[in-house]
Amino acid sequence: MVRTYSPAFREAAVRMMISHREEYKCSRWAAAVAISEKIGASPNSIYAWFKKSTFETIESDDFDLAYYKERIERLESEIQRLQKTIKFLRTTIIILSNSLHFG
């Protein structure tokens, strides 16, 4: 049996999905699944409503920008850590090779 939902219900579900994503920093699909369990609509329906809504462009720009900014910062930090490790390993190799030649 196909259920039909009112536009107000759909809009409320989409708003709940957006709120859930912001609170838990999760993917769109994870938010749709979480909200579907609360309201009884399928995650596929909620996700489709979100894709059709005008909220997608507003919400996705803010979320994606913050997500990618945080990810870039973490990756830059990881790069710095790895560069320090490489420098340490190179120095260690030089010291060990010198001690083998003169030892």
pTM of the model: 0.54
Average pLDDT, the chain: 88
Residue-wise pLDDT for 36-57, tens only, equals 999 999 999 999 999 888 765 5
Give the whole-angstrom CA distance, residue 48 versus residue 15: 13
Instruction: Please state, as a whole number, how many other Cβ atoms lie within 10 Å of the Cβ of residue 66.
Output: 12
Quote the pLDDT of residue 65: 74
Q: Are 17 and 28 in contact (CB under 8 A)?
A: yes
**Domain 1-53: which topology?**
Arc Repressor Mutant, subunit A (1.10.10)
Residue-wise pLDDT for 68-96, tens only, equals 888 899 999 999 999 999 999 999 999 99
